[in-house]
Amino acid sequence: MSMSELAKLGGGKVAYIKIMTPEEAREMFPAIEGLPAGINLFALHAADGTPLALTDSRQAAVGHAMGDELEIASLH
């Protein structure tokens, strides 16, 4: 499934989780300061790519999606 196809799915109810480095997270979330180097972060994005949340665990990102009643799509 392409990103444009994913963006059209679910009418705002589909999201995906992307693993990010602290450097990538700082670019996407410029207001965040003090991220330690060498860790993985997990960004929850709406299907259209809009960032929704940044967490330090996949489980927290999944929990955020569930709280917002979002279905998580797998990206390959």
Q: Is 65 a residue whose pLDDT tops 80?
A: yes
Identify the structural domains of the chain with CATH numbers, from first to last. Answer: 3-72 (3.30.730)
Mean pLDDT of the region 51-73: 95
Tokens of 55: 């967490």
User: Are 40 and 20 in contact, with CB atoms under 8 Å apart?
Assistant: yes
Q: Which strands make up the sheet holding 41-46, listed edge to edge? A: 51-55, 41-46, 14-20, 71-72
Q: What is the distance between the alpha carbons of residues 72 and 70, in angstroms, rounded to a whole number?
A: 6
pLDDT digits (tens, 9 = 90+) for 38-53: 999 999 999 888 899 9
pLDDT digits (tens, 9 = 90+) for 8-37: 666 678 999 999 999 999 999 889 889 999
